[in-house]
Amino acid sequence: MTLLPPTYDIGKSYEENFSAGPVYASAIPPMRAARKTWSFLGFELSSPIGVPAGPLLNAAYVELYARLGWDVPVYKTVRSVARASHPAPNCLFIATDMLAEADAHTTRTVAPAPQSVGGLTITNSFGMPSMAPDDWQADVRRASGAMRPGQLMVVSVVGTPGADGRDLKDDFAHTAALAKAAGARVIEANFSCPNVASAEGELFRDAQTSAAIVRNIKERIGDTPLIIKIGALPEDHLAAVIEACLPFIDGVAAINTVPLSIVDAAGNQALPGNGRLKSGVCGAAIAGVASEMTGRLLAIRDRLKATFAVVSVGGVMTEDDVDHRLAMGADLVMSATAAMWDPLLASRWKTRQG
């Protein structure tokens, strides 16, 4: 499919995109009645397709994607304090050579825009910006009001070290409680973001700290389902994280991105600002890493005879990719990069189901 302009204008700043809302001028396809429903964490869904934390900056973006048939939108990660975005540019194209886990932290060079979604790989670097809690709580309520029968909005949260004197563990729980108070029906704790330099960026690598955080969160949110969002890990390491967190979580979403160092044609840091040589890469190039992680999570779930939901994220670019992850056994499949440039993907998948 020919590459169209994305719903997030990568030529503008985060703040400009936030204020202007999503870019979309095409017709909204009619909502099709679901021929079957999908169960997820006790909710009945019209489809198992969603958009992970990232592209859905506010209620305007959530509402658009809900109307386009993305039935599980994840509201972009929020904090207990306001946080500005990294400066523009925040998204750059890179060449689509398929990545392996061993490629993490290696170097890639920016490239021209591809001709099609199938060749689409980008790096993104925002730094998990957030509105102040009063503002995002009101906006979460607006976004929740856009959900239709068979749809479920998840709210992604992250802790901020030192916010109002709270340590990271307590701030995660505090922020999750704020999300629940705003009406969040499911909460995702974001343990993976390579675009921040502080401790919250790679929590998923530390089993004991992750477990302490989710324990603290569950004490505050009670029976509200809790998902953790993680990056790629070898199977033994992954199993240790899952086993430590398992008493307190209801699902695992993986992966976020693959962290790489991004340079321009001259070999210089491509994204401006301190600490931005490394950034997360997403899109077609990470499909293999993401599929492998889905397989590991499913194998661990089987081995532990557990029931946590598996949300497969990363490199989902086409309807066939959705089918592949579902056939593997994933409970939900989410797309971020393709969803930005090909927002009708979910509608086409539903049409194909008949």
Catalytically annotated residues? 193
Q: Which residues contact 243 (CB under 8 A, 6 or more apart)?
A: 207, 304
The span from the CA of 276 to the CA of 127, in Å, is 9
Residue 219 Cα distances to 26, 135, 169, 179, 271, angstroms: 45, 25, 12, 14, 39
The answer to whether 61 touches 21, Cβ cutoff 8 Å, is yes
E strand residue ranges, 21-70: 38-40, 43-45, 49-51
Tokens read off for 213: 């955080």
The answer to whether 183 touches 144, Cβ cutoff 8 Å, is yes
- Listed as own residue / partner, the contacts of 148-151 with beta carbons closer than 8 Å and 24 or more positions apart are 148/31, 148/66, 149/46, 150/34, 150/37, 150/44, 150/45, 150/46, 150/47, 150/71, 151/45, 151/46, 151/66, 151/71, 151/72, 151/73
Tell me phi and psi for residue 130, to 5 degrees: -155, 145
Q: Residue 251: enclosing H or E segment and its boundaries?
A: strand 251-254
Tell me phi and psi for residue 299, to 5 degrees: -65, -40
Count of H-run helices and E-run strands, the chain: 10, 15
Cβ atoms within 10 Å, residue 145: 12
The answer to whether 37 touches 150, Cβ cutoff 8 Å, is yes
Does residue 89 have a cis peptide bond before it, meaning omega lies within 30 degrees of 0? yes
